[in-house]
Amino acid sequence: MDDDALRSASEQAAVLASALPFLRRYAGDTIVVKYGGHAMGDPALSDAFGHDIALLKLVGVNPVVVHGGGPQINAMLDRLGIRSSFVDGLRITDAAMVDVIEMVLSGSVNKQVAALINRAGALAVGISGKDGNLLRARRLTRTVRDPDSRIERVLDLGFVGEPERVDTRVLYALSGSGVIPVIAPVGIGEDGQTYNVNADTAAGAVAGALSATRLLMLTDVPGVLDANGRLIPELTAEEARAGIASGTISGGMIPKVETCLEAVAQGARAAVILDGRVPHACLLELFTSAGPGTLIRAA
């Protein structure tokens, strides 16, 4: 072995050795990962993600993946000539649209994400929130106030749902058999109705129900930023709520932080908002001391 090859091998060995304390910390733990955004649309990042999730399973962690699929849904709706409208980032979903959404999320997207992990050497199985009654959902409504009359009215979003109950039995059965669950965020109502559930919200509900050690939310931003645009490495729940109240946390970051807060309140040990555009973001967060995102914990 020449000097360059020996130096490269030594560096790899040093990286593995430095990861040992973190491997011990998370051995046997459940990590829920919300997969979406740019990380899902970039082939190189997608391939890295599949390898990262496979590695987590192979070193004794129990990963559970919940994925989105907004761009893929938009592409299919455009092909079918179905127009979409949104309220607060939620797609108003009629009966025809919910069938298309289920087809895309539970079909092609779900199987593609599972295939990424399978190609990396682990065993992943794609399911939807309807399988095993995993994700019980109820109809989600939004209240809007008329700017002139100040009268509030309830806006009907159609078949958009929010998690009501998570039945974890199918997840424990899969994880206990060495299988990585890959979940499409499609829920089922008590009456058998199918609901389109926001992927972030679904991931938070699953993380809380599993009492996950971490909920990792892959996004297209570095994490939560302060008033000067600098990354905030860690927040307590109280600090996060104060940031929302003061306006420091604003716009599209608010629902992501609120999802993290809900997950922690329901039993997850902590939640992390991560930049999914960074290769191997999940491994950097879990197995190094320089976690790149914003961690939110109860206190």
Per-residue pLDDT tens over the stretch 111-150: 999 999 999 999 999 999 999 999 999 998 877 666 666 6
pLDDT band at 213 (very low <50, low <70, confident <90, very high): very high
Is residue 214 domain-resident? yes
Length, in residues, of the chain: 299
Is residue 13 domain-resident? no
117, 50 in Cβ contact below 8 A? yes
DSSP-assigned letter for residue 137: E
pLDDT of residue 204: 98
Is residue 9 domain-resident? no
pLDDT average, residue stretch 63-79: 93
Q: What CATH code is carried by the domain that includes residue 43?
A: 3.40.1160.10
Is residue 5 domain-resident? no
pLDDT over 80 at 13, yes or no: no
Using the CB atoms, write b or e for 139-150: b if 16+ within 10 Å.
ebeeeeeeeeee
Domain that holds residue 50: 26-297
Is residue 92 domain-resident? yes
Is residue 275 domain-resident? yes
Q: Is 247 exposed, middle or buried (0-12, 13-18, 19+ CB in 10 A)?
A: exposed
Is residue 224 domain-resident? yes
**Could you report the per-residue pLDDT of 21-59, keeping only the tens digit for each?**
777 888 999 999 999 988 888 999 999 999 999 999 999
Number of domains in the chain: 1
Which of 259, 288, 289, 293 is CA-nearest to residue 278?
293
Whole-model pTM over 0.95? no
pLDDT average, residue stretch 189-213: 96
pLDDT band at 91 (very low <50, low <70, confident <90, very high): confident
What is the Cα–Cα distance from 278 to 34, expressed in whole angstroms?
Answer: 15
pLDDT of residue 67: 97
- Report the DSSP beta bridge partners of residue 182: 65, 126
